[in-house]
């Protein structure tokens, strides 16, 4: 799917939660709004894979050495493609099962949780890292909330 010259490739590898056109549009809008907020004007590509808890658990163990389910993983690439016309930012892997359980736990909508996780991952793809200290964590979380507010998505 394309928005504002950016390509977002969405792959659904799970069968527990229905992936509607509205959900895909929300994911694409979350990517685009993050890029707009960050004033990232280069055309780019992002891949989003929707998966199960089991699949993300395996990836989390393999790539991070953490043996538990997580909600979302980001794999930054930030490389120009063969034509030099698009920047490939990287891959987002999102567990829809975990997003649904967290939405219920936090008392907000599934859509809000998916948007939050997409924005969060996009900031990681753009170089933010909340695990490098309180100042960066605070800055990243503040940006997330501002982006979601810009999208009209409140807690």
Cα(60)–Cα(149) distance, integer angstroms = 30
Instruction: Say if pTM beats, i.e. exceeds, 0.75.
Output: yes
Cα(73)–Cα(112) distance, integer angstroms = 18
Domains by residue range for the chain, with CATH:
2-150 (3.40.390.30)
Q: What is the pLDDT of residue 83?
A: 52
More confident residue, 2 or 55: 55
The string of pLDDT tens digits covering residues 102-154 is: 999 999 999 999 999 999 999 999 988 877 667 788 889 999 999 999 999 97
Q: Which of 104, 48, 44, 40 is nearest to 73 (CA)?
A: 48
Three-state SS across the chain? Answer: CEECCEEEEEEECCCCCCCCHHHHHHHHHHHHHHHHHCCCCCCEEEEEEEECHHHHHHHHHHHHCCCCCCCEEEEEEEEECCCCCCEEEEEEEEEHHHHHHHHHHHCCCHHHHHHHHHHHHHHHHCCCCHHHCHHHHHHHHHHHHHHHHHCCCCC
Cα(154)–Cα(110) distance, integer angstroms = 12
């Amino acid at each position: 799917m394309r928005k504002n010259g950016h390509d977002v490739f969405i792959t659904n590898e799970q069968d527990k939660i229905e992936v509607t056109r509205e959900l895909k549009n929300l994911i694409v809008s979350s990517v685009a709004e993050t890029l707009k907020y960050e004033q990232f004007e280069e055309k780019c590509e992002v891949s989003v894979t929707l998966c199960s808890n089991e699949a993300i658990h395996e990836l989390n163990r393999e790539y991070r050495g953490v043996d538990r389910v997580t909600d979302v993983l980001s794999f930054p690439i930030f490389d120009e493609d063969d034509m030099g016309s698009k920047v490939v930012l990287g891959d987002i892997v999102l567990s829809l099962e975990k997003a649904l359980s967290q939405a219920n736990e936090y008392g907000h909508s599934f859509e809000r949780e998916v948007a939050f996780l997409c924005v969060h991952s996009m900031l990681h793809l753009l170089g933010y890292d909340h695990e490098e200290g309180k100042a960066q964590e605070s800055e990243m979380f503040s940006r997330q909330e501002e982006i979601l507010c810009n999208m009209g998505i409140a807690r």
